[in-house]
């Protein structure tokens, strides 16, 4: 098997200059996606026919020199994968659920249309925790995705399929969605770059909603520059999403190599937790050194309410989920349960939902219903919304101290083993301790590879070498700055160039 995809920019330039054929590249990508799926289960559907058709169109446009084709060509011939909660007008959009196992979206999500307009080739849909609810990609009706660095471990989640597909160099980049860390934590666990944009930066039209005030689509890629290319294509106002921002969209790749000298970075006191894995502690300390060596000033800041982020998140996200997922009632689309004679509409709702929704989704719907219910609304939902403001204020104060970005772990540890956190959902929720605050505050954040954890062999399990990431968090609409800081970091460290051993096999 080949070593897999090169960089997005490399492919785009080669296809545009007709040094490479998008069709050949796509055929190789499809073969690699299929060949590795038994081992990784990263894809839930591969779109061979459509992908080849798009690739031929990209080659045809390149032959015309891109003129008069109406396409920007920014992603000409670039094979991409999409998390399977993003609607595409061919194939299925399942959200890894029984409820939508045969759902065929009648339209493209706005991000999909923008990728296609830029010349991208969509090769398939990737696995996820059902409806985005989970941190391990184990809550999927298609079975778990496996981590390319160690197939006995999870890739993180919920965008675990996208992270694994990029880490295994099947595709140079993929889209995920991030409601509480679902791009950044799997990026960290799989040793790739992941960006959660500012809330409203990227249209959510055509993203199956989990928690509407927190959800945001973003890219995962093998390097920061490629993330910037994707963001430049998918960002921007969309009349079909009332929460999308009218902020101007810069060319995020243009200023990415500018130096970071003189810039101030803040490390939250709360990020230096004793419960962090030693490799995470080490990666954070090393990152601080790297940034100082590049002329940045690193100061300590305080996020006094950070410890309350998980509690506030699991009230707000589940409340919104209970409302959003009420649409899955077995009437207009999705799974409908077979009813016995004499059973009415109530039974149709209750049985279709019981059959169609997974255990974790049911848990979250019930928690959300509980915190919104009469008698508990003030004590839980309103309290969480007030805590959310305090969490947002903490970030604002840190930025007012002059920090252009905050530096902290993306996850307290490296990838955990399959099944390890399934028995107790609370331990799974604590995976998100460093990520949920960013969604509550609506801020952009970038995860970059920052080192490795060497796990010695123990009790029948071989030794493994697992990537760990750090994340950079910035004020609203500061993606350009975050990408620039991340780019300097990866140039200095080259952690992102290391690949799992299965690549070389």
Task: Return the residues of window 423-462 that contact another protein according to CB under 8 A.
Answer: 424-426, 429, 440-442
Shortest distance in whole angstroms from residue 285 CB to another protein: 29
Residue placing its CB nearer to another protein in the complex, 186 or 330: 330
Stretch that binds another protein, among 1-9, 22-30, 197-205, 288-296 (CB under 8 A): 197-205
| Of residues 271-330, those binding another protein (CB under 8 A) | 305, 307-308, 310-312, 314-315, 322, 326, 329-330
Helix 224-234 with 479-493: angle, nearest 10 deg: 160
Sheet holding 43-46, edge to edge: 43-46, 121-126, 79-83, 173-177, 217-221, 193-196, 445-455, 464-473, 405-409, 264-268, 297-301
Binds another protein (CB under 8 A): choice among 53, 363, 465, 491? 363
CA 70/CA 83 separation, integer angstroms: 27
> Which residues make Cβ contacts (< 8 Å) with residue 72, sequence separation at least 6?
117, 118, 119, 233
Binds another protein (CB under 8 A): choice among 30, 233, 357, 482? 357
Per CB under 8 A, 198 contacts another protein: yes
Size of site (CB under 8 A) for another protein: 83
| Of residues 375-404, those binding another protein (CB under 8 A) | 375-376, 378-380, 382-390, 392
Binding mask 238-277 for another protein (x = CB under 8 A): -x--xxxxxx------------------------------
Shortest distance in whole angstroms from residue 44 CB to another protein: 19
Binds another protein (CB under 8 A): choice among 365, 448, 483, 502? 365
Residue placing its CB nearer to another protein in the complex, 6 or 385: 385
CA 382/CA 217 separation, integer angstroms: 27
Residue 43, classed as helix, strand or coil, is: strand
Are β-strands 445-455 and 217-221 bridged in parallel, bridged antiparallel, or unpaired? unpaired
| Of residues 213-232, those binding another protein (CB under 8 A) | 213
Q: Other C-beta atoms within 10 Å of 257: how many?
A: 11
Shortest distance in whole angstroms from residue 105 CB to another protein: 9
In this structure, are residues 71 and 31 in contact, taking their beta carbons and an 8 Å threshold?
no
| Of residues 46-105, those binding another protein (CB under 8 A) | 103-104
Residue placing its CB nearer to another protein in the complex, 376 or 494: 376
Per CB under 8 A, 374 contacts another protein: yes
- What are the C-alpha distances in Å from 290 to residues 62, 195, 405, 490? 41, 21, 15, 10
Per CB under 8 A, 28 contacts another protein: no
Q: Other C-beta atoms within 10 Å of 386: how many?
A: 11
Residue placing its CB nearer to another protein in the complex, 104 or 465: 104
362 in catalytic set: no
Q: How does DSSP assign 169-207, residue by residue?
A: TSSSEEEEE-SSSTTHHHHHHHT-EEEEPPTTSB--TTB
Exactly one of 83, 125, 196, 421 is catalytic; name it. 83
Are β-strands 264-268 and 405-409 bridged in parallel, bridged antiparallel, or unpaired? parallel
CA 110/CA 186 separation, integer angstroms: 24
158 in catalytic set: yes
Shortest distance in whole angstroms from residue 317 CB to another protein: 12
Q: Please list the active-site residues.
A: 83, 158, 182
């Amino acid at each position: 098997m080949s070593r897999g995809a090169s960089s997005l920019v490399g492919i785009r330039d080669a296809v545009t200059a007709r040094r490479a054929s998008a069709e050949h590249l796509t055929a190789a990508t499809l073969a690699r996606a299929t060949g590795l799926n038994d081992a990784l289960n990263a894809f839930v559907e591969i779109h061979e026919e459509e992908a080849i058709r798009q690739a031929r169109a990209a080659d045809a446009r390149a032959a015309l020199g891109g003129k008069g084709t109406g396409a920007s060509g920014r992603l000409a011939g670039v094979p991409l994968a999409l998390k399977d909660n993003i609607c595409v007008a061919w194939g299925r959009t399942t959200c890894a659920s029984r409820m939508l196992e045969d759902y065929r979206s009648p339209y493209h999500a706005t991000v999909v249309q923008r990728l296609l307009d830029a010349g991208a080739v969509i090769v398939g849909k990737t696995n996820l925790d059902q409806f985005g609810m989970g941190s391990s990609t184990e809550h999927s009706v298609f079975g778990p995705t496996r981590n390319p660095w160690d197939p006995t471990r999870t890739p993180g989640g919920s965008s675990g399929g996208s992270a694994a597909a990029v880490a295994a160099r099947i595709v140079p980049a993929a889209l995920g969605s991030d409601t509480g860390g679902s791009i950044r934590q799997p990026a960290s666990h799989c040793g790739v770059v992941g960006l959660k944009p500012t809330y409203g930066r990227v249209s959510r039209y055509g993203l199956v909603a989990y928690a509407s005030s927190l959800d945001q689509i973003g890219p995962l890629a093998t390097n920061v520059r490629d993330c910037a290319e994707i963001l430049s294509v998918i960002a921007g106002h969309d009349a079909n999403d009332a929460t999308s921002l009218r902020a101007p969209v810069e060319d995020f790749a243009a200023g990415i190599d500018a130096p970071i000298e003189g810039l101030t970075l803040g490390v939250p006191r709360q990020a230096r937790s004793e419960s962090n894995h030693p490799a995470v502690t080490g990666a954070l300390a090393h990152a601080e050194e790297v940034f100082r060596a590049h002329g940045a000033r690193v100061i300590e800041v305080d996020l006094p309410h950070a410890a309350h982020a998980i509690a506030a998140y699991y009230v707000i996200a589940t409340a919104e989920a209970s409302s959003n997922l009420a649409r899955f009632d077995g009437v207009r689309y999705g799974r409908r349960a077979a009813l016995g004679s004499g059973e009415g509409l109530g039974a149709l709702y209750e049985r279709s939902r019981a059959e169609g929704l997974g255990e974790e989704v049911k848990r979250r719907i019930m928690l959300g219903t509980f915190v919104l219910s009469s008698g508990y609304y003030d004590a839980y939902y309103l309290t969480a919304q007030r805590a959310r403001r305090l969490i947002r204020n903490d970030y604002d104060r840190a930025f007012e101290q002059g920090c252009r970005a905050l530096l902290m772990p993306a996850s307290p540890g490296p990838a955990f083993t399959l099944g390890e956190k399934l028995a107790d959902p609370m331990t799974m929720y604590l995976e998100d301790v460093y990520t949920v605050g960013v969604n509550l505050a609506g801020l952009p954040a970038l995860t970059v590879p920052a080192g490795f954890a060497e796990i010695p062999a123990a009790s029948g399990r071989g030794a493994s070498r697992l990537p760990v990431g750090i994340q950079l968090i910035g004020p609203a609409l500061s993606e350009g700055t975050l990408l620039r800081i991340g780019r300097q970091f990866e140039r200095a460290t080259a952690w992102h160039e290391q690949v799992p051993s299965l690549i070389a096999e």
